[in-house]
Chains A and B, each alone.
Chain A
Amino acid sequence: MAYKIAIGSSDGKIVDLKFGEVNKFLIYEVGDEVVLSEEREYIPGEAEDNSADSCSSSSCDTKSCGGNGGGCQGPGNVAGKVELISDCRAVVCKKIGFQAQKQFEKKAISVFDVECEVKEALDKITFYYKRIDNHESLRG
């Protein structure tokens, strides 16, 4: 079964971006082969507005509210970014904050915060999924 992996990388070679720094996710599609299917750009906007709604209805400052925390949806840009790649099975970045991890967890998207080559990450993750999808042991 084909699935997608979102990677935060500035040059397509090394996973060098933190989740918060990513403007463009590299989306790899894994079927029989692993191919870079698209570069998905994150445009700040809609998501923040949604999460800010509850805030703006009261008199508080949206920015301070949408900073750290931001209620159950997490900070606005986190919710938006999570939504942007919610069709992926896994997300790979150099670092991924607690808020974002929890949001991904809710959507059953695996989070890998690692610093390595993109190829290495893809190899290891696809190997892992292949084994567990086929109910094979991870040993050896």
Chain B
Amino acid sequence: MAKLLDKQRYKCALGAMQTVQAIDRALPILHSGPGCAQKLSENTGSSGYFSPNIFPCTSINEKDVVFGGVKKLDSTIENALKVIDADLYIVLTGCIPEIVGDDSGEVVSRYEDAEKPVLYAPTAGFKGNNFKGHEQVVDAIVEQYLKKSDEKIEGLVNIWADVPYQDLFWLGNIRELEKLISELGLIPNTIFGYKRGIENINKIPKAQFNLLVSPWVGLGNMKKMERKLGIPYLHYPTLPIGATETSKFLRAVGEFAGVDKDKVEAVISEHEDYYYYLIGRYADLFLENRVINKQFTVVADAQYSLGITKFLVNDLGLVPAKQFITDDTPKYYRDKIAEEFKKLNFGIEADVSFETDGYKIHEEIKTHDYHGYPLVLGGYYEKEVTESLKGNFLNVSWPHQDKVVFDDFYVGYTGGIRLIEDIYTVAVQRFN
């Protein structure tokens, strides 16, 4: 029986074109209907080089459904290579060609000898959402492009985090992670954002290890790279926000990478000193506003739901109400992620619900007793319901209508301070 899904927070797997877009000078070639890219592109900043409006697309129609669209795909790739100057071309398929059985992989394989790499990622909508699509794109790069390297660069670490553009703070977050990692004396390598691109992709096989900072997105990619490229990985499931988690994170990375313990502690204490200096200066603000929000709810994808919950409990001492994870996390990851919500300071455990239906989430928020005004951190969908409860609302997850972010971030010590700033900016407005 078909059912309605209200206010879902993800797009179809073809939304992975944003993952490709996040790689500098990489171009998605779409084998899909003409409306797909239009619907999937967002105005949250283009790549700085290509606009989604010029993504080559086969614009398949009824004829291609009946007779197959491979010819059109072939000519679209051929001409994209001629006309558009990119470093990497990734063919993404929509639902239609996958349903009618176009062998897109075969067409793409004809371009093995092309001057620039042409890869293929199956991203039909029925295969999953854009989180899954993101993994497909990374998989395509690993499977079809990268080769095992005997040469290793000591201390080189590939950093992987959540899905670009889906995560409003993706650029700032990954830059801040790079910064933290380099402070430990390691060399960070990422493929997304400004001046990264193909050169950094080429460096992937030479890394000492992969670092995945995400509850589940990308875990499959890490396993694939371990098998194919022989790169071990460290999976750190919690997005480190604020001092407590970031210090844990740095210790975990330091230990895995074999960094001298004293060095790690020195980095940590320098950051923590400044962090707590700032917190100390504003202690009055926290105490005065403590009466506003006793309990909070996060409605976000797994990384922010987990990361922010840990931060608000461990660093700010708030009490978690029910938390919601809206990214349709695959079932086999769920228990492990729910476990993480039980590892909070002071013996506190948070209840978490994997729920994609916005209506049900809102009903639960409305009926929960927050012992005062709720603090809700979520997508723009939660704004209205929070206002109806006279609560404080902050837009941290998709959809983002309430916030413009260029390269701001929530990760790390500084990120924690940024999040506190944002939350209390909302809180103090109540008194104006």
Residue of B67, B99, B100, B101 contacting most chain A CB atoms (<10 Å): B67
Taking the nearest CB of chain A, how far is it from the CB of B65, in angstroms? 7
Report, as a range, how many residues of chain B touch the other chain: under 10
Kindly list chain A residues whose C-beta atoms are within 8 Å of the C-beta of B100: 138-139
Taking the nearest CB of chain A, how far is it from the CB of B64, in angstroms? 10
Main secondary structure of the interface of B (DSSP, over half): helix
User: Among residues 79 to 128 in chain A, which have CB atoms less than 8 Å away from a CB atom of chain B?
Assistant: 110-114, 116, 121, 124-125, 128
Kindly list chain A residues whose C-beta atoms are within 8 Å of the C-beta of B99: 137-139
Kindly list chain B residues whose C-beta atoms are within 8 Å of the C-beta of A128: 65-66
| Residue B63 at the chain A interface, CB threshold 8 Å | yes
Taking the nearest CB of chain A, how far is it from the CB of B268, in angstroms? 54
Contact with A along B45-71 (1 / 0, CB 8 A): 000000000000000001101110000
**Cα distance A107–B62 in the bound complex, in angstroms:** 15
**Cα distance A106–B63 in the bound complex, in angstroms:** 17
Taking the nearest CB of chain B, how far is it from the CB of A122, in angstroms? 11
Q: Tell whether, in the assembled complex, residue A111 and residue B63 are in contact, meaning their CB atoms are under 8 Å apart.
A: yes
User: Among residues 98 to 118 in chain B, which have CB atoms less than 8 Å away from a CB atom of chain A?
Assistant: 99-101
Kindly list chain B residues whose C-beta atoms are within 8 Å of the C-beta of A138: 65, 99-100
Kindly list chain A residues whose C-beta atoms are within 8 Å of the C-beta of B65: 128, 138
Question: Which residue of chain B lies nearest to A111 when distances are taken between CB atoms in the complex?
Answer: B63
Q: Tell whether, in the assembled complex, residue B67 and residue A116 are in contact, meaning their CB atoms are under 8 Å apart.
A: yes
**Cα distance A59–B67 in the bound complex, in angstroms:** 46
Taking the nearest CB of chain B, how far is it from the CB of A89, in angstroms? 12
**Cα distance A122–B135 in the bound complex, in angstroms:** 40
Chain B contact residues, CB within 8 Å of chain A: 62-63, 65-67, 99-101
Chain A contact residues, CB within 8 Å of chain B: 110-114, 116, 121, 124-125, 128, 137-140
A-B contact pairs, 26 of them (CB 8 A): A110-B62, A110-B63, A111-B62, A111-B63, A112-B62, A112-B63, A112-B66, A112-B67, A113-B63, A114-B63, A114-B67, A116-B67, A121-B67, A124-B66, A124-B67, A125-B66, A128-B65, A128-B66, A137-B99, A138-B65, A138-B99, A138-B100, A139-B99, A139-B100, A139-B101, A140-B101
> What 5 A-B pairs are tightest by C-beta distance, nearest first?
A128-B66, A112-B63, A124-B66, A139-B99, A138-B100
Q: A110-B62, A110-B63, A138-B99 are in contact. List 8 more A-B contacts (CB 8 A).
A: A111-B63, A112-B63, A112-B67, A124-B66, A128-B66, A137-B99, A138-B65, A138-B100
